[in-house]
Amino acid sequence: MALKSPLRNLQEQAEAEFMVYGRRDAVAPADAATPEMEIVSTFGEIEAEYASLRRSAGLMDCPQRGTLRVSGADRADFLNRMLTNEFKAEAKTQAASGDHGKPFASLPPPQSCAGHAIDAFWLNRKGRIEADLTVIDLGEEMILAVDATLAQRTADSLKGFIISEDVTIENAMDRYHGLCMHGPRAVEFLRTILDENEGAALADLRPGRALRCTSHGHPIVVHRCDLIGEVGLHLLCRAEDAVAVHEQLLEAGLGQGLRSVGWHAFNIARIEGGSPMHLIDFGLDSLPHESGLLHRRVSFTKGCYLGQEVVARMQSLGHPAKTLVGLKIEGEHMPVTGSQIFDSSDPLAEVIGAVTSATPSPMLGRTIIAFAMVKYACAKLGTEVIVNAEGRRAKAVIHDLRFWPRRSADSG
């Protein structure tokens, strides 16, 4: 079964090229019920699409993001006991996406983090990552953003732990649709289409915050998550409003550098920005300590949650067997997903890791950069390694996951 975006007809008219999103084998290779998702790979001009992300803004359709709606009086307490991050008002250590582990400033006095978007993992009993979630708390309800291929599976597994709590979890993918807009002018363009008096709140939207707004009467939930090293706005609207909201945004940025972008351009930018993704750079068999996102997804000061014993034991032991790192690769040859990595001191020795994502980086003079899962003993920053790239052995250096912007220039 293939899931179809409500924007598909517009995309076909624009002569977009399509691709199957993610690695289906990483979800459930034998599960025929797992939906297949086609997304736009490019509108035919990858370089121009990428440039819009860095200079103005790029608007991307996100049918690969599924939506779960969680309601009921016990929803916040239930999710707090299930997921790896903290959702109560007294939590002070949440690291919002884009903050790269920095303390979350301060939370408002209410008992729930209304108006916040908090990232967390849903683990199984063995501590493996079942889903990478963004929990959007809007006060009267909570919305979970999750990979579309895992939406029903996640809803079903969470429901299995509801005993007597007043909690309802529903897969709302057929009712809501996601868009995202990344780039330095993203806030400016979205403010243009919002109804009167709503622009001021958007201007103050910080990473990890969420708000409700309307555009020409169309309700929108927007939260900020800076995945590419620039402002990132993630929009959720009703499925029947998706075309109208999309066209309003394109019109707002007409002649000002805003353009529709596909996965290829976004993928370059998100690797530069240090944003690994579930089912691409780490999978269902991964532990939080291996993901590169530990301090953005896991609280070590909250109460129990499913899989916590494994996470706590790993933390006390000091490190996992392997972990996700960045790579800077010499030369012009680019490795593909799965390319083997070797210790540079003995390239004939056993494999120490594999590439998960790679791209030439326009912001770094076309230097080849990558994410890779490597043995922890070889993961120290600055370590030299050897990578298989287009049939050749290329030298590489272990790097922080974030390549752009440089931390000294990062205001987040």
Structural domain containing residue 384: 321-403
The answer to the question of residue 313 being in a domain is: no
The pLDDT value given to residue 318: 79
Q: Are residues 220 and 330 in the same domain?
A: no
Q: Are residues 238 and 332 in the same domain?
A: no
The answer to the question of residue 290 being in a domain is: no
Q: Are residues 163 and 48 in the same domain?
A: yes
Q: Are residues 47 and 146 in the same domain?
A: yes
SS3 of 61, please? strand
171: phi then psi, degrees, rounded to nearest 5: -80, 115
The pTM assigned to this predicted structure is 0.91
Q: Are residues 166 and 19 in the same domain?
A: yes
Boundary-marking domain end, from 272, 293, 308? 272
The pLDDT value given to residue 201: 87
The answer to the question of residue 384 being in a domain is: yes
Q: Are residues 77 and 226 in the same domain?
A: yes
Q: Are residues 245 and 346 in the same domain?
A: no
Q: What is the mean pLDDT of each run of 10 residues along the chain (412 residues)?
A: 86 97 55 73 98 98 97 95 80 36 29 75 98 94 95 97 97 97 98 89 92 95 97 98 98 97 98 98 97 96 94 91 98 97 84 98 98 97 96 96 71 40
Q: Are residues 265 and 357 in the same domain?
A: no
The pLDDT value given to residue 202: 92
CATH of the domain at 371: 2.40.30.110
Q: How many CA atoms lie within 13 A of 298 on its CB side?
A: 25
Q: Are residues 87 and 149 in the same domain?
A: yes
Yes or no: say if 140 and 234 are a contact pair by the CB < 8 Å rule. no
The pLDDT value given to residue 200: 83
CA-based nearest residue to 259, from 47, 103, 80, 86:
47
The answer to the question of residue 184 being in a domain is: yes
The pLDDT value given to residue 31: 52
Boundary-marking domain end, from 232, 248, 272? 272
Give the other-Cβ count within 10 Å of 286's Cβ: 25
The answer to the question of residue 411 being in a domain is: no
The answer to the question of residue 349 being in a domain is: yes
Please name the residue ranges forming H helices in 56-198.
75-82, 151-159, 186-193
Q: Are residues 228 and 346 in the same domain?
A: no
Yes or no: say if 52 and 252 are a contact pair by the CB < 8 Å rule. no
The answer to the question of residue 60 being in a domain is: yes
The pLDDT value given to residue 23: 57
SS3 of 337, please? coil
Q: Are residues 65 and 186 in the same domain?
A: yes
Q: Are residues 131 and 243 in the same domain?
A: yes
CA pair distance 104, 95, nearest whole angstrom: 5
Boundary-marking domain end, from 251, 272, 293? 272
The answer to the question of residue 66 being in a domain is: yes
User: Which pair of structure tokens corresponds to residue 345?
Assistant: 């001191």
CATH of the domain at 141: 3.30.1360.120
Please tell me the total count of domains within the chain: 2
The pLDDT value given to residue 70: 97
